[in-house]
Chain A
């Protein structure tokens, strides 16, 4: 009996002390974590549709959308969405033009894709810098490289941009100059990751259009 009580008391004390300490640490860390997440989100919105003020118009499970306004007019839309990738969830943001007809950009915020293959869905730091400096927000010829998958979502530099009607499809081995407005060139050896991104984008724009079409929608 004495041993049992001793064992019980030990576990209760250990659990209570651990729980109390963690509560204190969480009280300190939680505001910082929230601030980090908000900063990352704001930076991504500012990168995708620069120079405007975002206003959140949709907040649903798996889809958050902001309308960005500049000088009183809509300058673009930013959608945050997620879906299944090759190994785990892919969390990304996409930008749409003011009329929600074209995709203007894509930035992956989190993924666990295969290093060196599926991770090409991410925008490289160099391309992000170059895009931020480019007046027309696309790198034209730079998109013509199998490793530059996300650049396709910023346009080809010749007026071609991807459709925002939720009808994108993944193609393989097609000349990039011949790609249509609904065709996305897959990453070599990472077709599943490429298809996952396209699926997430299609689902997000379809859901956004459905939400905004409802009575009282923000469109």
Chain B
């Protein structure tokens, strides 16, 4: 029997090792489009995380009842229902945020993170583990979008969450809140994430060598 990953590792993998944005490069369309401000990143991330958690739970619960031939169609119905709930709730309770995110809330239906986790994880694991996995992925996605939105808002508007953080004479880099700025910010962030990963791998390799040498000695 294969060793099962601990619950904490299941959650933490979504934050860095398998971060949907930084490692798997999934859901990049909303990532580039809505991260013109940090608040948009938080809103989009939380909306996606909610749908991800609910859809993973539901799909995990019904995984043995759904015939394989219609599983994707069933998953899409489940995901679309939760996305519509989020869309209506945001319009009712957070109209300003809903207006700001525009069409990208309904488009969560086709966000590949959600169907990806449903197909790769929730359809093969129990409800508790599926929810933990979805929570980790949702938090990782929200963190990445908030970071990108924060960087773009600071450089492109001189503010963070709407509060001015740059000197009064700062001339905003408008390009950072334009689509091109999204690509710049994402590219540089992915580059930085790759460098950090390489450092971590080299450190782990060095530590393993030291441990091996100590054992031999």
Contacts and interface: CB of A to CB of B under 8 A. Distances in A.
B177 A3 contact: no
Nearest to B71: A10
A7 B69 contact: yes
A3 B67 contact: yes
Given A10-B67, A11-B74, A33-B92, A115 B36 contact: yes
Contacts of B81: 17-18, 21-22
A40 interface: yes
Interface stretch (A24-32, A49-57, A128-136): A24-32
Contact of A116 (B84, B92, B156): B156
A10 B89 contact: no
B80 interface: yes
B36 A36 contact: no
Given A3-B69, A11-B70, A14-B74, A40 B85 contact: no
B86 to A, nearest CB: 10
Contacts of B89: 25, 29
Contacts of A11: 70, 73-74, 77
A26, A33, A40, most chain B CB atoms within 10 A: A33
Q: Is the interface of B mostly helix, strand, loop or mixed?
A: helix
A94 to B, nearest CB: 20
Contacts of B178: 114-117
Interface string A109-136: 0101011110000000000000000000
15 contacts: A7-B67, A7-B69, A7-B70, A11-B74, A15-B77, A21-B81, A21-B85, A22-B81, A25-B85, A25-B88, A32-B92, A33-B91, A114-B178, A117-B174, A117-B178
Given A22-B81, A29-B91, A36-B91, 10 more contacts: A3-B69, A6-B67, A7-B67, A10-B65, A18-B78, A25-B89, A32-B92, A32-B93, A36-B92, A115-B36
A-B pairs with lowest CB-CB distance, top 3: A32-B92, A18-B81, A116-B174
Interface of B: 36, 65-67, 69-70, 73-74, 77-78, 80-81, 84-85, 88-89, 91-93, 95, 99, 102, 156, 172, 174, 177-178
